[in-house]
Amino acid sequence: MSPIHLLVKPKFLGLTLLIAAPSFLLSATESTPFFGLKSASDISHMSDMAVTFNDSYKVYKQAVTDNDAAAMLKYSAESYELGQQKFGDKSLDTANLALNYATALQHKDKSLDRKSKNERAEKAHQLYLIALSIYETEFGEDSLETIDPLLGAAQTSSDARKAKSQYHHAVGIAEDSERPLLLASVQMSAFNGLKNSEYYDRRVRDYALDAFEIYQEKMPQDALKRVEATYTAGMIWLAEKKESKAIPLFEEVITQFSKLNYSHPYELASHARLVELYEKEGDSESSTKHCIAIGSMRPWQENQEQTPLYRINPKYPMSAGRTGREGWVQIAFTVNESGFVTDPKVVNSKGSSGFKRASLKALEKWRYAPKFVDGKPVAADSLVQLDFTLDRG
């Protein structure tokens, strides 16, 4: 069995707020009325270019209905180019087509390399700016119509400072709309766009918490946006080490998603967070409950290997740190049916004897989702190597 390597350093990094959340782009682009189209009975009187445009746009709409990302991209691009010739560069029709094309460019494609993804994002960004300019001319710079292209431009921008300004502008417009659900949606878009940037601050943090409060007031408990906002709020409180606020929110996420006939990623993540939180509070019984729940979630295979949920790093021995000693420790152990580490044994080591003591003490706190065989939890053996290294920069 090859050991899993974990790096141990004498200093710990702060908890980073990393929340995997979906984009909340308002998606008004496809539903926006298309101003220039004529009825089918008029097609015979139109030029060949117009017929080609109508054919292309019809195929695009069918691709949207079929959720065919490749066809959406192809025909949104084609209908935009043809529509631009038909309606002119400054037409609202052209703006709508630009939004359709930009949205199609944002569809995730795992086959693309980084360069291609960046090129798509830049193209989408330019299209959003084109639509934004037309909308601002037609409706005003602070009009509701500008929210979609503002958010799209921010999401695809390579300039974080400009993106921040666009997000804040969109939120400001929504705040003046007296439409709380619209405001909450835009606030979540801004939060998701800025949460991992240098511009994450209390203002951005409050966008998510304010949106959560709106969803609590305006939406039913099982509404997807409300539950996702509940998870986000829980992650914020976790990052700020306010565990007593985070725990009930993660429990609520699990309660709502458990009603579905499939397991949502936020349900899995909430169980994992609660394993950690309950362990920190010394409530091993509750932690165990969530370990078992993760192992038995429906998407998992009938034969599933044990999976780590909660690990703490060993404390770097002070004597070894002062003398600049490094090393490693290999430990064999068993993960029992409840996800606890049992029977840990040092099988090999290098360096200070303090590394072994620190490693064994840390492993007592580790928790796993147990291994499952034929759908039932079983004990399983594991091997890990803890590498003790010093920063010498």
Mean pLDDT of all residues in the chain? 84
In tens, the pLDDT along 187-214 reads: 999 999 999 899 999 999 999 999 999 9
Total count of domains within the chain: 2
Is there a domain that residue 282 lies in?
no
Is there a domain that residue 133 lies in?
yes
Cα separation, 229 vs 219, in Å, equals 11
Name 261's Cβ contacts closer than 8 Å, sequence gap at least 6: 298
Identify the pLDDT of residue 165. 98
Is there a domain that residue 226 lies in?
no
Residue 83 has pLDDT above 60, yes or no: yes
**What average pLDDT score do residues 179-191 get?**
98
Q: pLDDT grade, residue 13 (50/70/90)?
A: very low
Q: CB atoms < 10 A from the CB of 252, how many? A: 18
Concatenating the DSSP letter of every residue in 319-361 gives HHHHHT--EEEEEEEEE-TTSBEEEEEEEEEES-HHHHHHHHH
Q: Mark whether 80 and 209 lie in a shared domain.
A: yes
Bigger pLDDT: 108 vs 208: 208
Enclosing domain of residue 361: 307-388
Bigger pLDDT: 28 vs 124: 124
In tens, the pLDDT along 251-269 reads: 999 999 888 766 677 887 8
Is there a domain that residue 75 lies in?
yes
**Are the CB atoms for 381 and 333 separated by under 8 Å?**
yes
CATH of the domain at 329: 3.30.2420.10
Identify the pLDDT of residue 373. 78
CATH of the domain at 97: 1.25.40.10
Q: Is the dihedral of CA 330, 335, 340, 345 positive or negative?
A: negative
Compute the CA torsion angle 82, 83, 84, 85 (nearest 10 deg).
Answer: 60
